[in-house]
Structure formats: structure tokens, C-alpha cells
Structure 1
Amino acid sequence: MPEKIIEFNNVSKKYGRQPALSNINLTLPRGKIIGLVGPNGSGKSTILKLIAGLVHPSSGSVKVNGREANRRIASEVSYLSELDVLYSFYTVAETISFNAGQFADFDINKAQEMVSFMQLDPNMKVKNLSKGNRGRLKIILSLARRAPLILMDEPLSGLDPLVRDSIIQSLISYLDLKQQTLIMTTHEVAEVEPLLDTAVAVKNGQIRNISEIDDIRSQQGQSLIDWMKQHLL
């Protein structure tokens, strides 16, 4: 059994009176690429925010590397929000320098290499970047950190297929699975399926199923989309 990096014990989360997660138990292994899949409003983003320590459970406990998840674990977690949190007045190069100053584990050489790989102009202002190139820059900022846990909330959302392909290639090229674990939410299921090791089906604030992608293909003879239909419809 692979060493676990994430552990949810009887976790529920409410926003006001609105339940987001209902008494979930979830253990995720280290050194894998894990996809949280399910419909909008199912609780996927809340799971990521709980892992990152950005919100706290209403009941139960969330542990990362055996420690309770809270804002003090920020040095161990690289979190990519679905929201655009880039400073528009910086250039690409200035954005990278700013983040290098924010995080001790930020590898500026790796970031610059990814800028070249993704064909971004380091001198272009963020406000002048296309949506696709802003998406690329957000990915660069996340992957340039040496944090053991990388969380990405819909990293491919709204991006055209060519941009999505380059981002998937960067995830393959620049993620160090000997040292890092990636957990991502996504609706672009068919495109990320070759990338994933494990899929977690989430619906109505509950975990409906967890399977290894290889098992879905070899033992169940299904694609990830077929598996999702089985467990989420």
C-alpha cells in the first residue's frame, strides 16, 4: 500500500446552512496524479480548499502528511485556484520574480524553462496575455514550486485544445512524482485520462467511488468517462 499523503476522517463542510461535503472518508497516496471528477457543485473544489487549509471542516479532520491541514501548511502545498489571481500590471518575468520572493521553494530556473517551453514572452504584461497564456502562466507558477503537494482547481477550464495540450505536456515534463503529488479537479476528462493514476468520483458532497485508472481500463474494460457515467449518473 503506497504511503498516504491525504487523510479525511468523517469530514463534513457547510457554508452557512448549505452542505458542501457530507461525512466523507478519503485516503490518497503519495507520488500520484489524482483526478477529482464530478458535476459542478459536487464538492470537488471544497475538498481542495480543505487540503490546502484555506477552509476548515465543520466536523471531522483533514490531515496532510500526518498533520492537521491549516494555513500553516502553506509551505507544503502549491495551490492553483480556478480564479485568476495574477497581478495585471506585472510582466511575465516580474510575476515569476514576485512569486520567487513569496515562496522559499520556488525554483526560478524551472519557471524560466517552462516560460520558454510554453512560448510565453517574459516581457509581456499580464494584462495583455490571452486567456490561454494566463492559464499557462498560472500552471508555471504552481509547478515551479518544490512543494510535495500540488493542488489544481480546473487548470484547463475554458482553454482551447491547443493550450490544453501544451499544459498537459508540461504536467508530464515538469512534475517530479518521486517528490510530489498532484491532485486536480477537471471537466476535461478525456484529455487528462492518460495523465491520471487515480480517479475520485464526487457527487452531492460524497465520494461515490475511487479507482486506479489502470484497473478501470484492464479489469472493468471502461474508459474514465464510462466509469464516471456508472458512478455519477
Structure 2
Amino acid sequence: MSDYIVEFNNVTKEYVRQVALQNISLKLPRGKLIGLVGPNGSGKSTILKLIAGLVRPSRGSVRVNGRQANRMLASEISYLSELDVLYPFYTVAETIDFNAGLFRNFDMAKAREMMSFMQLDPGKKVKDLSKGNRGRLKIILSLARQVPLILMDEPLSGLDPLVRDSIIQSLISYLDLEQQTVIMTTHEVTEVEPILDTVVAIQNGQLRGMAEVEEIRMTHGQSLVEWMKHNLA
């Protein structure tokens, strides 16, 4: 088994009127919490979609667990979209039950434990949840999957600081990094820095830097934000 769970080899992704990624080559290690950082429109979400097999590269190749990325890998990947795709008339409990029926690797006991940890009312309808609690529910659905790779597109987006703190705690508490790898896009860099192992900087569809967060702090004496300013200048 390779040390790398994701490998991009000279990947370019073009949409009709836009080049989203330009000649990206990178290898992402297993068992890490990896942050994709960069400005809006830099190509971070496209990277996640390529890994999940939701879109195909225009040129180059994307491999996940040694195989070409495609939709057939959905059973091995948990993907949290930035979009709100929850059914509004389901309750929290019904939403969890529905997802348990979709995925054989859904850990119901873990989902219920996280629901209690995040203080979600199982009988409350999704349409009546605050944005913060909908965010919490999406996190539960993602982390309850017993899969080797979890992709999270802006899981903290638009959430107030107290909610973000509880979600970051849940990432620490409910991940098994001996068995799982997490790749997340985020703008809340300062808040997630303590839990990230590796960071990848993307700008204008190009790879601008990749480093271990501990190395940034210890070797370069920089915070993650300072490192980003240097690489994304």
C-alpha cells in the first residue's frame, strides 16, 4: 500500500469558460488532517470534486488508494459539500436514519454519540434548525462513515465561533487517523491550524506551496497565516 492516499499527476481541469486547475501535481499522505487553503475561486473545491470522482480532469490523472478516481469509489469516500443538501422535512433522527440506509459503512452508534455531543435535538426538523446546527448535522453525517477518506468543503463556513469550536472538537474526538485521512478546504485558518498536519496552498488554479504545519512553526518560525501570505503573495 502506498504512503499516499491521493495522487495528482499533471492535472488540469477546464470548464467551458474557465481554467480551474493548471498542471497540478501533488501527493497527499495517509492518516493526516490536510487543509487546502487559498482565495475564493482558487480551485480548492475542484480538487475535492476530482478526488471524489464528481468531475474528471481535462488532462492528467487523479488516483485515490492507487486507483483512478471515479464515482465507483463513493463507498470509500465521505464527501461533505459546502451546499446544504439536507431534506428540510426530515427530523435530525430521520436524516441520520436515511443516511444509514444509504451507506453500509455508516456507524449509527457513532452518529448518535456525536448527536448527543453536539446537543442536537433528534426530533427537530431540519427546516427549523439554525445554520450552525445544520452544519453540525452535516459534520455528523460525514464523520459517521467508516471510510478511509473524508472530504470536507468549507465545513466551518458561516458558522459562529462557538459552533466552529465545537465542530473542531468533534474532528479531534471522532476521527481515527490511524484508519482515516481528512482533506478539508477552509477559510478559518487560524482556528483549524492547531489540528492540521499538512497544508496545501492553491491560488489561481496553481499549487503555490505544500508543507507540514509543525515544520512551518518550528523550522520557519511562522504561523500558518504568515506562511500563506508568503506563498500566496
Matches within 5 A, 1:1-233: 3-233=3-233
Post-superposition Cα deviations, 1:81-120, rounded to whole Å, max 9, x if no partner, equal 0000000010000000000000010001100000000000
Distance 2:68 2:132 in 1: 35
Distance 1:87 1:17 in 2: 32
Distance 1:43 1:23 in 2: 12
The alpha carbon displacement at 1:179 in A equals 0.5
Partner AA of 1:117 in structure 2: F
Partner AA of 1:19 in structure 2: V
Distance 2:98 2:55 in 1: 25
The alpha carbon displacement at 1:10 in A equals 0.5
Distance 1:207 1:192 in 2: 20
Distance 2:212 2:202 in 1: 15
The alpha carbon displacement at 1:17 in A equals 3.0
| Deviant stretches of 4+, over 6 Å | none
Partner AA of 2:3 in structure 1: E
Secondary structure of the residue aligned to 2:191 is: helix
**Identical amino acids, percent of aligned pairs:** 76
Post-superposition Cα deviations, 1:65-85, rounded to whole Å, max 9, x if no partner, equal 000000000001000000000
Secondary structure of the residue aligned to 1:122 is: coil
Aligned length in residues: 232
Secondary structure of the residue aligned to 2:79 is: strand
TM-score between both structures, scaled by the size of structure 2: 0.99
Distance 1:18 1:211 in 2: 28
* 5+ residue gaps, structure 1: none
The alpha carbon displacement at 1:40 in A equals 0.3
The alpha carbon displacement at 1:182 in A equals 0.2
Secondary structure of the residue aligned to 1:194 is: helix
Secondary structure of the residue aligned to 2:222 is: coil
Distance 1:70 1:82 in 2: 20
Distance 1:175 1:86 in 2: 22
- Superposition CA RMSD, Å: 0.6
Distance 1:89 1:55 in 2: 30
Partner AA of 2:42 in structure 1: S
Post-superposition Cα deviations, 1:116-159, rounded to whole Å, max 9, x if no partner, equal 00000000000000000000000000000001000000000000
Distance 2:149 2:71 in 1: 14
